[in-house]
Amino acid sequence: MTATTIYEALKWASSFLENASREPKVAEILIKHELSMTQAQLISSLRENMASHTFRSYKAKIELHAQTGIPVQHLTGEETFFDRTFQVNADVLIPRPETEELVDHAIQTVKKKDWTDLTCVDVGTGSGIIAITLALELGDTVEKMYATDISDSALMIAKKNAGILNAPVDFFQGNFLSPLIDQGIKADILVSNPPYIDRGEIGQMADTVKNFDPELALFAENKGLLAYETILEQAKAILTEEAVILFEIGYQQGEAVTDIIHSTFSKSNVQVLKDINGKDRVVLAEVENTVRL
Residue closer to ligand GLN by CB (options 20, 226) is 226
Residue closer to ligand GLN by CB (options 194, 254) is 194
φ/ψ region of 174 (left if φ > 0, alpha if ψ in -120 to 50, else beta) reads: left
- Nearest-approach distance from CB 105 to ligand GLN, in angstroms: 15
- Nearest-approach distance from CB 238 to ligand GLN, in angstroms: 21
Under the criterion CB under 6 A, does residue 74 sit at the interface with ligand GLN? no
Candidates 13-21, 164-172, 192-200, 257-265: pick the segment binding ligand GLN (CB under 6 A). Answer: 192-200
Strands 187-192 and 118-123, bridge-based pairing:
parallel
Member of 81, 82, 196, 247 binding ligand GLN (CB under 6 A):
196
* 235 vs 87: CA distance, rounded Å: 29
Q: Which residues are annotated as a binding site?
A: 124-128, 149, 176, 193-196
Member of 70, 209, 237, 273 binding ligand GLN (CB under 6 A):
209
Distance from CA of residue 7 to its chain's centroid? Answer: 32
Under the criterion CB under 6 A, does residue 96 sit at the interface with ligand GLN? yes
List residues near ligand GLN by CB under 6 A. Answer: 93, 96, 98, 193-197, 209, 218, 248
